[in-house]
């Protein structure tokens, strides 16, 4: 495998800017431009996967001069084919005793050293070469790497097998890592979430997403517990000392971040699926007290497999189970064939249905076709999020799709980062900022509009079934190549502007009307007034744009092609329009201000107002929402019933419109706040506006129920 080398397109993305979507329905009034604002109420729907998974409020300044881990150059010289991982999990002492056999193939150059990723807090006991011959090996373990020295170089192209014996107590890290927990009934739990680079925290491996391998787990646990891992169960064998051995095998190549285990006192829910997505077992591992609720929540899966199979092709892990394995968590992770599912998501009323769809979509986008590095994570999360949108459309029609996309434009501050991420961040949460979910889905939504439904829905299964990409790692260029092969079109203009430019179209629209014979003549000027892009300068976005003119019972929508910073259009209509609405069906990521003819009275400007917090009561997270008619710098405070401020955060400056902030129920120090009623205050301040309305405090009540 190669070191990370940015493509020319990726180099164009090395910037940081603000993205925003404000959904507008603008009314005309005399003498002044219309204010830009969002919908009067929160779009219905959710909770969505991005609310559980997407990080918010990441400050790049906290991680200067650091970067995501890159493989040691010596790791380029071999390719891992298979891991045999044996773990005995000692719950009393929270210790792992492990042995891993790494089966590999030497690359084009002789291999003198074998380098693995492994955290220094763990202990390495021995390193042995098992093939092409057997011998003990000298090694060092420092700087989070094991370096094994071969007595003589292994020849190019030769197979090898190195065995590492180790032990230790893994330290939870990154997004989750390896954790010892306790189930609600007091029994022990062990679970892993290794995304993005935490596999190295609990087993020696080549922890690099481009090197995918098959894996077999030999898990030794107390005999009252069940151990679950990827793939198929090959054996469940009683051992001495009240232990059990579970052998799981994943026969398809996956990256190390997707290799997972979950151990607990589980009850199984077993069903079978037969349909366009293949034939296989649906097998869930749940806490005993949640069986009834889990059966209700997961009953939707056969319908989801029907849906996904029709638009994407067969379930990638055909012949293997699919299901959920519970742990103590408030999120989910798409581990192949055994999704790690937080117990708080099991409610029995299906409120997290869209998250189930999200994790299922990852079996195609992320698990079968994986990102070549973490800058490309939108290819996982954007696709899975848009599958949520398509599921909403499948169930509720166009209105469901629009509601979903509205929700994923809610809180425009979360769209201010580049979609293709920068490589110079060591904080793993940076790569899972809500941008990759929200904007990633919007890019696919806009691509659908550009291609049309026939080509778009022909492209999806082509991408998810392209032989050159199956079980491989890809980047954005690979996806673009597939789109262009299906459409027979050069789409550089589309991908360059939406993946690598760091602005978004902001429209300033003026229009006038006059009578011409029996028609009404409309002269419209469309200007793009966004800031210059740091890399490309002041270049226009190229896009279709719908203009909806309406008055009373009459309306018409005209689609124009906008590819200039200033562009004039002329139309003849059969009726006199009173209003103009840009992008009425919400296909475009944009902001807009419309100036009206001097023929209508001005509507009232929307006031600063609080929107109901949801969910309320909540556990563990709540969304606080409000809106203003002007740009502002806002501050959020959480106050307990004793009047003490337990949490405060200053937010980045945002444009006029709706805002949102997610509180996770923790205080200044990251500690869980107790159950109870809390007051939240939002201080809204606009320094440019000299009026009483420029500084306002909104407040509301929320209830935390642990």
pLDDT digits (tens, 9 = 90+) for 296-326: 999 999 999 999 999 999 999 999 999 999 9
List all residues 6 or more positions away from 148 whose beta carbon is below 8 Å from its beta carbon.
Answer: 113, 114, 115, 116, 127, 137, 138, 139, 162
Distance from chain centroid for Cα 223: 37
User: Average of pLDDT values for 325-352?
Assistant: 96
Q: What is the pLDDT of residues 571-629, one digit of tens each?
A: 999 999 988 889 988 899 888 888 877 543 333 334 678 888 989 999 999 999 888 77
- CATH number for the domain whose boundaries are 609-704: 2.60.40.4070
Q: pLDDT at position 651, please?
A: 85
Distance CA 188, CA 207 (A): 28
Parallel, antiparallel or unpaired: strands 543-551 and 554-562: antiparallel
For residue 41, pLDDT over 90 is answered with no
The predicted structure's pLDDT at residue 134 = 96
> Per residue in 97-150, pLDDT tens?
999 999 999 999 999 999 999 999 999 999 999 999 999 999 999 999 999 999
Q: What is the mean pLDDT of the chain?
A: 86
Give strand ranges (E) for 641-694: 645-650, 657-663, 676-685
- Who's near 217: CB < 8 A, 6+ residues apart? 85, 87, 227, 229, 230, 246, 247, 248, 249, 261
For range 196-205, the mean pLDDT = 97
Question: What are the tens digits of pLDDT across the range 145-156?
Answer: 999 999 999 999
Strand (E) or helix (H) holding 551: strand 543-551
Q: Where are the domains of the chain?
A: 9-38+373-605, 73-265, 609-704
- pLDDT score of 36 more than 60: no
Question: What pLDDT does residue 654 have?
Answer: 75
Question: Per-residue pLDDT averaged across 156-169, rounded?
Answer: 98
Mean pLDDT of 248-267: 98
Long-range CB contacts for residues 61-66, cutoff 8 Å, separation at least 24 = 62/427, 63/425, 63/426, 63/427, 63/430, 65/424, 66/424, 66/425, 66/426
Highest mean pLDDT among 3-12, 31-40, 689-698: 689-698
pTM (global) more than 0.95: no
Structure confidence at residue 29 as a pLDDT band (50, 70, 90): very low
Domains 9-38+373-605 and 609-704 share a fold: no
Provide CB contacts within 8 A for 482, sequence distance 6+: 459, 462, 463, 466, 469
Percent of the chain with pLDDT over 90: 66
User: Mean pLDDT over residues 157-176, rounded?
Assistant: 96
Report the distance separating Cα 370 and Cα 73, nearest Å.
21
Contact criterion met (CB below 8 Å) for 46 and 407: yes
What integer pLDDT is reported at residue 33 of this predicted model? 33
The confidence score (pLDDT) of residue 453 equals 97
What CATH code would you report for 9-38+373-605?
1.10.390.10
637-662 pLDDT per residue, tens: 998 877 788 998 888 777 777 788 99
What pLDDT shows up at residue 24? 28
Return the CATH superfamily for domain 73-265.
tricorn interacting facor f3 domain (2.60.40.1730)
């Amino acid at each position: 495998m190669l070191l990370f080398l940015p493509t020319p397109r990726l180099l164009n993305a090395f910037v940081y800017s603000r993205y925003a979507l404000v959904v507008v329905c603008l009314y005309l009034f005399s003498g002044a431009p219309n204010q830009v604002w969002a919908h009067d109420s929160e779009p219905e729907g959710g909770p969505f996967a991005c609310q559980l998974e997407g990080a918010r409020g990441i400050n790049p300044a906290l991680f200067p001069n650091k970067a995501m881990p890159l493989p040691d150059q010596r790791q380029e010289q071999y390719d891992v084919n298979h891991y045999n991982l044996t773990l005995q999990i000692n719950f009393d002492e929270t210790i792992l005793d492990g042995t891993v056999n790494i089966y590999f193939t030497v690359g084009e150059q002789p291999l003198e050293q074998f380098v693995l990723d492994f955290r220094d807090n763990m202990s390495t006991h021995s390193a042995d070469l098992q093939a092409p011959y057997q011998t003990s090996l000298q090694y060092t373990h420092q700087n989070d790497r094991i370096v094994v020295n071969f007595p003589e170089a292994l020849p190019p192209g030769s197979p090898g097998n190195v065995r590492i014996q180790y032990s230790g107590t893994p330290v939870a890290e990154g997004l989750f890592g390896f954790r010892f927990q306790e189930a609600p009934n007091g029994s022990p739990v062990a679970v892993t979430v290794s995304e993005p680079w935490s596999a190295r925290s609990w087993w020696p491996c080549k922890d690099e997403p481009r090197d995918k391998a098959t894996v077999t787990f030999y898990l030794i646990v107390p005999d009252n517990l069940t151990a679950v891992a990827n793939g198929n169960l090959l054996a469940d064998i009683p051992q001495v000392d009240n232990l059990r051995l579970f052998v799981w095998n994943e026969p398809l190549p996956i990256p190390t971040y997707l290799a997972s285990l979950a151990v607990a006192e589980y009850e199984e829910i077993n069903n079978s699926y037969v349909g366009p997505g293949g034939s296989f077992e649906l097998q869930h591992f749940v806490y005993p007290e949640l069986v009834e609720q889990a059966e209700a929540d997961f009953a939707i899966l056969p319908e989801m497999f029907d849906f996904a199979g029709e638009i994407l092709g067969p379930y990638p892990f055909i012949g293997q189970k699919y299901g959920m394995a519970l742990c103590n968590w408030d999120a989910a992770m798409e581990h192949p064939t055994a999704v790690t599912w937080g117990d708080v998501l099991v409610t029995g009323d299906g409120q997290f249905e869209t998250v189930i769809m999200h994790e299922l979509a990852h079996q195609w986008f992320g698990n079968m076709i994986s990102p070549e590095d973490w800058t490309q994570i939108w290819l996982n999360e954007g696709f899975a999020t848009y599958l949520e949108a398509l599921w909403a459309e499948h169930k509720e029609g166009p209105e469901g799709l629009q509601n979903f996309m509205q929700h994923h434009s809610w809180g425009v501050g979360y769209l201010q980062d580049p979609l293709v991420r920068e490589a110079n961040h060591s904080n793993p949460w940076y790569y899972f900022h809500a941008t990759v979910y929200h904007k990633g889905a919007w890019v696919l939504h806009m691509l659908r509009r550009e291609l049309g439904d026939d080509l778009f829905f022909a492209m999806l299964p082509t991408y998810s079934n392209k032989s050159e990409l199956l079980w491989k790692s890809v980047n954005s260029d690979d996806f673009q190549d597939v789109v262009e092969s299906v459409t027979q079109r050069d789409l550089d203009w589309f991908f360059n502007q939406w993946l690598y430019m760091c602005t978004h179209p902001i429209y300033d629209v003026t229009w006038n009307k006059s009578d011409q014979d029996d028609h009404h003549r409309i002269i419209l000027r469309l200007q793009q007034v966004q800031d210059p892009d740091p890399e490309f300068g002041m270049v226009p976005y190229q896009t279709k744009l719908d203009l909806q003119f309406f008055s009373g019972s009459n309306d018409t929508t005209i689609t124009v092609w906008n590819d200039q910073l200033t562009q004039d259009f002329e139309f003849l209509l059969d009726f006199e329009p009173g209003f103009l609405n840009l992008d009425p069906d919400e296909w475009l990521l944009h902001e807009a201000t419309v100036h009206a003819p001097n023929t209508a009275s001005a509507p009232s400007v929307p006031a600063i107002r609080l929107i109901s917090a949801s969910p309320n009561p909540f556990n563990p997270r709540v969304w606080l929402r409000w809106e203003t008619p002007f740009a502002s710098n806002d501050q959020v405070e959480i106050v307990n019933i004793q009047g003490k401020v337990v949490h405060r955060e200053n937010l980045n400056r945002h444009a006029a419109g709706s805002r949102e902030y997610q509180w996770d129920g923790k205080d200044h120090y990251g500690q869980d706040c107790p159950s109870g009623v809390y007051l939240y205050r939002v201080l809204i301040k606009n320094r440019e506006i000299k009026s009483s309305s420029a500084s306002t405090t909104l407040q509301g009540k929320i209830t935390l129920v642990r």
